[in-house]
Amino acid sequence: MRVYISVLIALSVSLVFYPVSLAEPLGPVMSRKGEVYELKLPATVKKALANFNPRFHPWKATDYAAEVRHGGHQEKLKNRAPFALVVDANGDGKDDLILDGHDHQKSLLIGVVSKGSRYEVLILRESELVDPQTLECQFGGNKQWGFAYYLWLAEKKSPDSPIFRLAWPQQSNAAGELLNDGGTVGYYFKEGRFEAEESPPL
């Protein structure tokens, strides 16, 4: 008999492990109630994450600016959180996982992708570790703190369409003056790996 473990990520809770069911999901499953996100991971995904880096943790919802958590781009989809996407990236019919997080040394955007009966971790983006609460941004002059980008599920119009986009919305001051141009990076899955391609501003 197998027990799976779920991850509860809320506004005030970073990471909590607890048994919830005897039936293990085939892939990652996201659920949401208000601003509480629950990410249920099967043993194969947990093993892949542990083998990759046992120090890896996803960011908390509160690590993102309020515009990201509440803005129009953050649709209330059950397979999306500010820090995660559940999507079939490689097209094999099994859900994969995109996670935005860190390992206490650097910031990491990773994909946990099915490969036969197991999962493997691929690094999509690696950058200097920062404290998100020190990152100031402005939307209509409203000062906020946190990451000012979205994990945005892309509309699959063709096999050549991106799986998702990392999107930076335009920022502006109280006078409506633009503070940046915004922009997106599209992520594609080709020949067993992710490829990034910058796109025009939003």
- In whole angstroms, what is the distance from residue 202 CA to residue 154 CA? 13
| Cβ-based neighbour number of residue 159 at 10 Å | 8
With the C-alpha atoms ordered 96, 79, 45, 56, is the resulting torsion angle positive or negative?
A: positive
Question: Residues near 50 by Cβ (< 8 Å), separated by ≥ 6?
Answer: none
Give me the residue spans of the domains in the chain: 4-199
Provide the pLDDT for residue 9.
44
Provide the pLDDT for residue 14.
36
Provide the pLDDT for residue 98.
97
Closest by CA position to 127, among listed 85, 185, 77 = 185
Provide the pLDDT for residue 73.
58
Residue 19's DSSP bridge partners are 5
Provide the pLDDT for residue 153.
86
Three-class HEC string of 114-150: EECCEEEEEEEEEEECCCHHHCEEEECCEEEECECCE
- In whole angstroms, what is the distance from residue 37 CA to residue 118 CA? 24
Residue spans of the chain under pLDDT 70: 1-24, 71-77, 156-157, 200-202
Provide the pLDDT for residue 32.
82
Provide the pLDDT for residue 37.
87
Provide the pLDDT for residue 23.
61
